């Protein structure tokens, strides 16, 4: 494992498989009466959130607490940040208070990388701008492996040959970027589908295929991952109307019928029901949306354990 988890692209296949295998074993903890392990007792994990997030923050919090770490939540609103304190000063302050790891979400792409240069503790990227969200990609990979492979065959396995189609606002999506990097590292064949205005210009340099034809891609997908239409990041008119977006790129029951028998439907949440995904599709048995949330805690436990659980400079 690396010192920090900044980008899904930093993970080797062995690293990624180790995280998934660790998560598979940790999953059983969620089903026990005592959902707690003593492993990170005495360690402090700081959740440093400069952007609103309920799902990711609580997920990291639950993960750290299940490993017996102490958790400090620091949200930029109503804090010293509102008084003009810089990221660097905030981070050094938190480290002086004894933070062993900082989980950071920041609206600026690259903020976690900068942070990693300033502090001696570990840094976990919980989403930076439109750049990356590596733990989301890890939990998606975990969910895919869990759904498509029998549990006794999972250990040591990647996602070789699994066809994943990622649909929607690829341009603004850190989830899409991290997933493309991680899933291809694990051997999956990834295709991104987006309206031309929401397709990154440099898509040719990504390790995936690109398409504008959703219906054709759905017919051969094992996994379809719908992205949220991020109205808060859209400063220009990327598509004429929500209705038109829904008609061309939304997943409704008719489109779901095009999918192969065993294909699963994913969404990183929060969903815009009726925009990128129809309510009946989100609630169908093929949707893994609730499982993804549960798996998020497990996968983040695995990441925190592997980063903090062992001796300082590891080579494993």
Which residues are near other proteins by CB under 8 A? 1, 18, 21-22, 25-26, 28, 32-34, 36-39, 305-307, 309-311, 314-316
* Closer CB to other proteins, 245 or 305, in the complex: 305
Per annotation, catalytic residue among 66, 105, 228, 267 = 105
Helices 13-26 & 134-148 angle (0-180, nearest 10): 70
Per annotation, catalytic residue among 32, 54, 83, 205 = 83
* Closer CB to other proteins, 39 or 272, in the complex: 39
Assess whether 57 carries a catalytic annotation. Answer: no
Per annotation, catalytic residue among 66, 122, 131, 133 = 133
Assess whether 133 carries a catalytic annotation. Answer: yes
* Closer CB to other proteins, 25 or 254, in the complex: 25
Assess whether 55 carries a catalytic annotation. Answer: yes
Q: How far is the CB of 40 from other proteins (least distance, A)?
A: 9
Side by side, the strands of the sheet bearing 209-211 are 209-211, 189-193, 163-167, 223-226, 264-266
* Closer CB to other proteins, 37 or 294, in the complex: 37
In 76-186, DSSP assigns E strands to: 101-106, 122-128, 163-167
Q: First CA to last CA across the chain, in angstroms?
A: 7
Q: What b/e string do you get for 102-134 counting C-beta neighbours within 10 Å, with b at 16 or more?
A: bbbbbeeeebbbbbbeebebbbbbbbbbbbbbb
Name residue 287's beta-bridge partners: 265
- Distance from C-alpha of 168 to C-alpha of 166, rounded to nearest angstrom: 7
Q: How far is the CB of 2 from other proteins (least distance, A)?
A: 12
Q: How far is the CB of 28 from other proteins (least distance, A)?
A: 6
Q: How far, in whole angstroms, is CA 305 from its chain's centroid?
A: 17
Residue with tokens 């905030």: 90
Assess whether 114 carries a catalytic annotation. Answer: no
* Closer CB to other proteins, 34 or 237, in the complex: 34
Q: How far is the CB of 311 from other proteins (least distance, A)?
A: 5
Cβ count within 10 A of residue 216: 13
Residue with tokens 């492993």: 39
Assess whether 105 carries a catalytic annotation. Answer: yes
Active site residues: 55-56, 83, 105, 133
């Amino acid at each position: 494992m690396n010192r920090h988890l900044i980008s899904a692209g930093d993970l080797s296949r062995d690293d990624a498989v180790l995280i998934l295998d660790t998560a598979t074993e940790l999953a059983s903890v969620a089903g026990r009466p005592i959902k707690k392990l003593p492993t990170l007792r005495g360690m402090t994990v700081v959740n440093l959130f400069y952007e609103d997030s309920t799902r990711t923050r609580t997920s990291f919090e639950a993960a750290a607490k299940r490993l017996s770490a102490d958790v400090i939540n620091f949200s930029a609103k109503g804090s010293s940040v509102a008084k003009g304190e810089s990221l660097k000063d905030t981070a050094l302050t938190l480290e002086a208070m004894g933070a062993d790891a900082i989980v950071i979400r920041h609206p600026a792409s690259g903020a976690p990388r900068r942070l990693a240069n300033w502090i001696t503790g570990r840094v976990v990227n919980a989403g930076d701008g439109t750049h990356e969200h590596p733990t989301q990609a890890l939990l998606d990979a975990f969910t895919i492996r869990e759904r498509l492979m029998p549990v006794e065959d999972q250990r040591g396995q990647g996602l070789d040959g699994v066809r994943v189609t990622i649909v929607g606002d690829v341009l603004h999506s850190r989830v899409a970027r991290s997933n493309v990097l991680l899933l291809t590292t694990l051997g999956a064949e990834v295709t991104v589908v987006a309206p031309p205005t929401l397709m990154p210009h440099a898509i040719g340099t990504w390790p995936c295929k690109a398409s504008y034809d959703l219906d054709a891609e759905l017919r051969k997908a094992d996994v379809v991952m719908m992205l949220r239409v991020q109205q808060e990041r859209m400063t220009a008119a990327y598509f004429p109307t929500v209705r038109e977006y829904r008609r061309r790129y939304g997943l409704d029951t008719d489109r779901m019928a095009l999918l192969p028998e065993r294909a699963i439907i994913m969404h990183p949440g929060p969903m815009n029901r009726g925009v990128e995904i129809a309510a009946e599709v989100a609630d169908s048995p093929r949707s893994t949306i609730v499982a993804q949330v549960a798996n998020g805690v497990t996968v983040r436990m695995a990441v925190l354990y592997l980063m903090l659980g062992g001796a300082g400079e590891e080579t494993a």
